[in-house]
Amino acid sequence: MSTAIATVSLPDGERIPKLGQGTWEMGEQPARRASEIAALRAGVELGMTLIDTAEMYGDGATESLLGDALAGLRERVFLVSKVYPHNASRRGVQAACEQSLKRLKTDRLDLYLLHWRGSVPLEETVEGFEALRRAGKIRHWGVSNFDTDDMEALIAAPGGDACATNQILYNVARRGAEFDLLPWLAARDMPTMAYSPVDHARLPKRSPLDDIADARGVSVFQVALAWALQQPGVFAIPKAGRVEHVRDNHRALELQLDAGERAAIDAYFRPPRSKRPLEML
C-alpha cells in the first residue's frame, strides 16, 4: 500500500496528493532508464502517487517509460498528461489522447492538460476534452502555463469553468503568480499545480535557503520544496530520477518552516508587489 500523504482538493472535491512526481527529461537516456523507473516506483510506494507527464517529453519516450514504470501500479496512481497546443483541436485532441494512452499502457488519464495556450480556439479544446471525458478516456481536464487573462478567457468559453487546475512555473525564486493568478485560482477552488518546484535545479548558489538547510540538517532542495508545499492551495511535482532524491523530496513534507525562516526567505526572494507576466520553462 502507498503511504497516505497530505492532499489538496480539486474543484469537484476529489483529493489528490500534495506532493507528486514530474517526468520531464526521463526516458531520454538509456543509461538512466533503470534509475528513473526505480525512482518513480519508489515515489509511488511513498505515496507520491500523482505523476505528471506530456506527449511532448522525449517525443513520446517519456510516456513510454512511465507506462513501463507503472506496471502493476497504475490503479494507485493519479496520472496526468498534456496535449500540445497544435494537437488541441476538437478532433486532434482525441487522436493525441489515444496515442498517449497507448504509450502509457492504460485506458484512461486522470487529468489531461492543455500544455500552453496556442492558436486553437479554447472552446474547441474544451469541447474535445469534454468528449474525451464522456468517453471515459479522461477523468478531469485542465490547463498549463495560463496567466490570469488566459484563465478569464477560458472560463468565458462554454464549459470552460470545468477546468480542474492550472499547472504553472511556481517556486521560491519565481513568485510572480502570487500577485493575481494564485488568488484568482483560489477564489474558484482550483488548486495550483507547481511545476519546477526546485527551479529545475537552478536555485541560487547561496541564499537564505542554504542557512535554513544548514541549521536544519537538510538539503536546499528540501527547503525549497517545503516552502512550495506550505503555500495554500498549491501542490507540487518535483522530478527526481534517483531514488535518494525521491526519498529526500518525500521528507520535505515533514519540514515545517517557521515564521522567522519564512521571513528570511521573503526578504531575499521578494513576493511580487505588482503584476508580473507568468514565466514558463
Distance CA 63, CA 15 (A): 24
- Which of 49, 87, 125, 144 is close enough to bind ligand NAP by CB under 6 A? 144
Question: Could you tell me the smallest distance in angstroms from the CB atom of residue 91 to ligand NAP?
Answer: 23
Distance spanning both ends of the chain, measured CA to CA: 34
- Rounded least distance, CB 62 to ligand NAP, Å: 8
Instruction: Rank residues 134 and 242 by Cβ distance to ligand NAP and give the closer one.
Output: 242
Is 249 a binding residue for ligand NAP by CB under 6 A? The answer is: yes
Q: CB of residue 53 vs ligand NAP: minimum separation in angstroms?
A: 6
- Burial zone of 59 (CB within 10 Å; 0-12 exposed, 13-18 middle, 19+ buried): exposed
State the virtual CA torsion across 77, 253, 65, 242 in degrees, nearest 10: -150
**Complex with ligand NAP: residue 139 or 239, whichever CB lies closer:** 239
Is residue 88 within 8 Å of 121, Cβ to Cβ?
A: no
Which stretches of the chain are assigned E, i.e. beta strand? 7-9, 15-17, 50-52, 78-83, 109-114, 138-144, 166-169, 192-195, 234-236
195 contacts ligand NAP (rule: CB under 6 A): yes
> Least distance (Å) from ligand NAP to the CB of residue 194?
8
Pick the stretch among 85-93, 150-158, 238-246, 263-271 that binds ligand NAP (CB under 6 A): 238-246
When asked if residue 165 is in the footprint of ligand NAP (CB under 6 A), the reply is no
The label of the residue with cell 477523468 reads 139
* Number of residues located near ligand NAP, criterion CB under 6 A: 28
Strand partners, 216: none
Helices (H), 157-258: 181-187, 208-216, 220-229, 243-251
Within 109-138, the residues that bind ligand NAP by CB under 6 A are: 115
Active site residue 112: no
Which residue of the chain is nearest ligand NAP when measured via CB? 22
As given in the structure block, the three cell numbers for residue 278 are 507568468
Tell me: does residue 237 bind ligand NAP (CB under 6 A).
Answer: yes
Binding mask 26-55 for ligand NAP (x = CB under 6 A): --------------------------x---
Q: Given the rule CB under 6 A, which residues bind ligand NAP?
A: 22-24, 52, 115, 144-145, 167, 195-201, 219, 221, 237-242, 245, 248-249, 280-281
